[in-house]
A and B are shown apart, each in its own frame.
Chain A
Amino acid sequence: MSESSKLTPSTPLNPRKRAIVIGASVGMGAALSRKLAKEGYSLALVARQKEKLDALCGEINAGGERLALAYPHDVSKYSEVPALLHKIVSDLGGLDVVVFLAGVNYPPGGNDKYNFENDRKMVEINLIGAMAWLTPVAEMFQSAKAGQIVGIGSVAGDRGRVANPGYNTSKAALHTYLEALRNRLTRHGVNVLTVKPGFVKTDMLKAAAGPTPFAIEPEKAADDIYKAMQKRRQTVYTPFFWAYIMQIIRHIPSFIFRRMSF
């Protein structure tokens, strides 16, 4: 990065919190980045697609103050993470929040189809990608005795279903991983928030197999996530009523569930 791309300095009368958004370029990530910038955060935007990332960065910085910096990165390149994290935290001037949103969804293309390569990619990005980032972040926040980790899971991680075993697995494992981090870190003053969105109108939704009821705009999801962050909640569904829907779905007995088509 060049010298001219320094962020607006944080002073007592113009304090900026510092967040990394991984998977920032489109959909929910872009909406949450816009929201956080408005709420007084300086941002490091991380995503694979450089053009979209630069466009979002330009949009956030258009107001005159330099609030966001772009870092093109593929989360499945795990070995790049520690050096990149050092650089980002140095550029941001600290770190308060890390949001992991990066995720892919490759449905196998039918309830009777199987595709290991796709399943593997989903686990590599949605789960191991998160672990690669959140491991050093957890270490930092534990040491600093402060910080907030936000992981974007999914209602799809609450139950293994016929349509997309690989995606369900990646998100269920992510939920468990975040829960374990929460149990480790709460005692060190660190909040770990698991977000479980229902259907959100993003590019990912277009690829989804089957019906997608109650789909919401990404901006609505971003507002919900921000509210949950402020309240330092542990788990939040967006929109909220998915909590009730999933409560029911989680309790459908297996002898029925394994015969269902969804």
Chain B
Amino acid sequence: MFNTFKRFENFGHSLNAPGYRILARATDDIRAAFDLAKKRGLTVAARGAGRSYNDASLNGGGIILDLSAMNLIQSWNPATGVVRAEPGVTLEQLWQKIEPDGWWPPVVSGTMKTTMGGCLSANIHGKNNFKMGTFGEHVIEFSAILPTGAEVTCSPKKNADLFHAMIGGYGMLGIFTSVTLQMKRLHSGLLSVDAYPAPNLRRHLFALQDGAPDHDYIVGWMDTFAGGSSLGRGQIHAARHLREGEDPKPQETMKLTNQILPPYIFGVFPKSLLHRFMKPFANNIGWRMVNLAKYVASLPKHTFRQSHAAFHFLLDYVPNWELSYGRGGLIQYQSFLPKETAESAWAEMLSLSQKRGMPAFLGVTKRHRPDKFLLTHAVDGFSLALDFKVTDATRPQMRDMLQEFDRIVVAGGGRFYFAKNSETTAETALAFYGEETVKKFKRLKKRCDPNGLLESDLYRRIFG
């Protein structure tokens, strides 16, 4: 099996961990992978699209079970909006299948390249977390194979403990083989989007909280370079679905041709080359200018209509944008804080990053509410996701800074999201999950995986 050794990276290209790749085409291949792991004394981790910013789908020196080929939409009912899909089906496949019939996934990530297995494992959220919760809240039922070889079916009622632990369990308990989901009805292919500026952090958070009830989606962009009285300023995008009758031609706007992101900008320039032209700007001065220009452009308050795909999948707008961060790649640091402590914690973190000369290049805020899953990242509050460029020169200082961030977040009763953060230690994880939760998870782990076959680099870092 030495000739199956492949190099795998995280989405940000800031980590690499080679392992033995096994491509699963059917559920029997999953069992075979567990058998092989047992025989060779190795571990197995699942991988779909590899879109996690950290080590969730890496298993250095172990087996990488590649589920991207199990990508069949097994059934779709346009009357009820219920879809059944294999774990390798991407959000892109899903929305392109259902949107022409007038449906949309209830929760989507900022990229459409993620797979069902990945969305379930990380229990992803979208810009509508405050209203629709996480991806897992729309699962009617799923099947999975446990490392013991047993096949289980879980729903909110049946095997409820496993249901609430495997969703958001980062593939550490079993491998999803099929998921049944409820989609959301659309009355138009367009969203109505309100865009308005927020001049400082307090107004920014207030805008997120205040704008949420009247909208279906809300997201903030933050100018991470602005300091002083403008600290935390940015722009809010709040969108709502069009009601029945608001769109005179829903059949027309829901056509795929009116949704798909154009491959060119200004109608002529290929976007696939754009990341190369962004590269010279990927430094403190370049991004300061970009942030400033973006803020100035955001000042006039306006309302416009935008297709679902264009509104949601911002990360796909420039293909391979993450390559513009250069050789060291990028990391994302996302913190979730209760609404009472968010302002002071983020003010401290933003000032710290500016003072240390390591400002984030991009900041994105969202509004959240808690959910019932065991390893939940959600709080009744907000999240702030910060993108940092990694270079050889700044690694040690940045590491120290992020450890300080972790302390600020934990002290503020905050949480982290393991599709994003790559530097969180086992101690920090224990601190925000609480001993009770970690014990409960480990008990389930022992039950599902008595031989410890399912392990990713993330698992070893957080629970190892």
Residues of A within 8 A of B (CB): 6, 9-15, 18, 82-83, 85-87, 89-95, 136, 139-146
Q: Does B48 contact A (CB under 8 A)?
A: no
When distances are taken between beta carbons in the complex, the residues of chain B under 8 Å from A18 are: 60
CB of B61 within 8 A of CB of A145, answer no
When distances are taken between beta carbons in the complex, the residues of chain A under 8 Å from B423 are: 11-14
Q: How large is the interface on B (under 10, 10 to 19, 20 to 34, 35 or more residues)?
A: 35 or more
Q: Which 8 A-B pairs have the closest CB atoms?
A: A93-B60, A12-B14, A94-B60, A140-B5, A89-B61, A90-B61, A13-B399, A139-B2
| Nearest CB on A from B151, distance (A) | 27
Q: Which residues B8-45 have CB closer than 8 A to chain A?
A: 10, 12, 14-19, 40-43
| Nearest CB on A from B66, distance (A) | 14
- Which A residue's beta carbon lies closest to that of B397? A13
CB of A11 within 8 A of CB of B18, answer no
| Nearest CB on A from B394, distance (A) | 9
CA distance A138 to B61 in the complex (A): 15
Q: Which residues B296-348 have CB closer than 8 A to chain A?
A: 328-329, 331
Q: Does B248 contact A (CB under 8 A)?
A: no
A-B contact pairs, 15 of them (CB 8 A): A9-B460, A11-B399, A11-B461, A12-B390, A14-B399, A18-B60, A93-B17, A93-B60, A140-B3, A143-B2, A143-B5, A144-B5, A144-B6, A144-B18, A146-B18
CA distance A189 to B12 in the complex (A): 22
CA distance A23 to B60 in the complex (A): 24
| Nearest CB on A from B408, distance (A) | 17
Q: Does B444 contact A (CB under 8 A)?
A: no
- Which A residue's beta carbon lies closest to that of B426? A9
When distances are taken between beta carbons in the complex, the residues of chain A under 8 Å from B422 are: 11-13
Q: Does B99 contact A (CB under 8 A)?
A: no
CB of B61 within 8 A of CB of A94, answer yes
| Nearest CB on A from B1, distance (A) | 8
Partner among B2, B4, B12, B61 whose Cβ is within 8 Å of the Cβ of A12:
B12
Q: Does B406 contact A (CB under 8 A)?
A: no
CA distance A14 to B457 in the complex (A): 14
Q: A11-B422, A13-B398, A142-B3 are in contact. Are A94 and B17 (CB under 8 A)?
A: yes
CB of B15 within 8 A of CB of A13, answer no
Partner among B10, B61, B329, B396 whose Cβ is within 8 Å of the Cβ of A95:
B61
Interface code B37-58, partner A: CB below 8 Å = 1, 0 otherwise?
0001111000000000011000
Count CB-based A-B contacts (< 8 Å): 94
| Nearest CB on B from A259, distance (A) | 48
| Nearest CB on B from A44, distance (A) | 10
- Which A residue's beta carbon lies closest to that of B63? A90
CB of B331 within 8 A of CB of A13, answer yes
Q: Does B464 contact A (CB under 8 A)?
A: yes
Interface code B412-454, partner A: CB below 8 Å = 1, 0 otherwise?
0000000000110000000000000000000000000000000
Partner among B10, B15, B40, B457 whose Cβ is within 8 Å of the Cβ of A86:
B40
When distances are taken between beta carbons in the complex, the residues of chain A under 8 Å from B16 are: 94
- Which B residue's beta carbon lies closest to that of A92? B61
When distances are taken between beta carbons in the complex, the residues of chain A under 8 Å from B399 are: 11, 13-14
CA distance A143 to B6 in the complex (A): 6
CA distance A178 to B275 in the complex (A): 39
**Which of B2, B41, B423, B461: most chain A Cβ within 10 A?**
B2
CA distance A95 to B2 in the complex (A): 12
When distances are taken between beta carbons in the complex, the residues of chain B under 8 Å from A145 are: 7
| Nearest CB on A from B29, distance (A) | 19
CB of B15 within 8 A of CB of A12, answer yes
- Which A residue's beta carbon lies closest to that of B460? A9
When distances are taken between beta carbons in the complex, the residues of chain B under 8 Å from A83 are: 40-41
| Nearest CB on B from A51, distance (A) | 26
Q: Does B402 contact A (CB under 8 A)?
A: yes
CB of B41 within 8 A of CB of A86, answer yes
Q: A6-B464, A13-B331 are in contact. Are A93 and B398 (CB under 8 A)?
A: no
